[in-house]
């Protein structure tokens, strides 16, 4: 049975219902598709940065919020069922990443890595300092190792 694995970045799919319906349409009968979505900002690796940046860059706010719009298990399941997938399964996966320091975590962002880093570096210096400090507090930085609790929901269904 063929499997298609697709990571859904809800911020980039303006109409998730339509997107999941298209997955169903192009999938062979008996095939299975799987998507992953971020659940909540407090349990994301980098996307939490976009929410902090969005306070200073309002044009990012709507897209940042959409990333977590499908984090609710029932909503995600109904998307698949409404698109006529069968044997729909939702699985929650959680991981803890331990990093040597907050600086280890945040340094790539300060260099402009990824979309979060690009948005961060576009801010004025005072806003960058505020975002950095907000994230430092949020992650409980005490000058030593930090732990990032990350959680994703995986939905899958069969055509």
Residues in the chain: 159
- Specify the pLDDT at position 108: 96
The third-level CATH classification (topology) of the domain covering 3-158 is Rossmann fold (3.40.50)
For 82, phi then psi, to 5°, come to: -65, -25
Q: From CA 90, how far away is CA 127, in angstroms rounded?
A: 38
Mean pLDDT to the nearest integer, 129-153: 95
Mean pLDDT to the nearest integer, 20-25: 89
- Which residue is listed with tokens 């044997």? 87
Q: From CA 52, how far away is CA 92, in angstroms rounded?
A: 25
- Specify the pLDDT at position 146: 97
Task: Give the tens place of pLDDT for each residue, 58-95.
Answer: 888 887 777 788 888 999 999 999 999 999 999 999 99
DSSP β-bridge partners for residue 86: 158
pLDDT at 129 over 50: yes
pLDDT at 19 over 60: yes
Strands (E), 19-142: 32-38, 86-99
Domain borders along the chain are 3-158
- Specify the pLDDT at position 140: 94
- Specify the pLDDT at position 7: 46
Provide the percentage of residues in the chain whose pLDDT is more than 70: 92
Q: From CA 64, how far away is CA 12, in angstroms rounded?
A: 10
- Specify the pLDDT at position 98: 97
Mean pLDDT to the nearest integer, 3-30: 73
Residue 154: count other Cβ atoms within 10 Å of its Cβ. Answer: 16
């Amino acid at each position: 049975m063929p499997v298609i694995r697709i990571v859904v970045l809800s911020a980039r799919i303006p109409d998730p219902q339509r997107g999941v319906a298209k997955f169903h349409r192009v999938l062979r009968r008996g095939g299975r598709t799987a998507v992953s979505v971020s659940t909540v900002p407090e349990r994301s690796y980098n996307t939490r940065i976009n929410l902090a940046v969005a306070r200073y860059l309002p044009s990012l706010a709507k897209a940042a919020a959409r990333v977590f719009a499908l984090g609710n298990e029932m909503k995600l399941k109904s998307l698949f069922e409404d698109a006529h997938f069968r044997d729909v399964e939702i699985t929650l996966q959680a991981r803890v990443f331990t990093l040597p320091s907050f600086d280890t975590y945040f340094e790539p962002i300060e260099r402009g890595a990824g979309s979060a880093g690009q948005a961060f570096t576009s801010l004025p210096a005072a806003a960058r300092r505020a975002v950095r400090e907000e994230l430092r507090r949020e992650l409980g930085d005490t000058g030593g190792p930090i732990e990032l609790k990350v959680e994703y929901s995986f939905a899958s269904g069969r055509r």
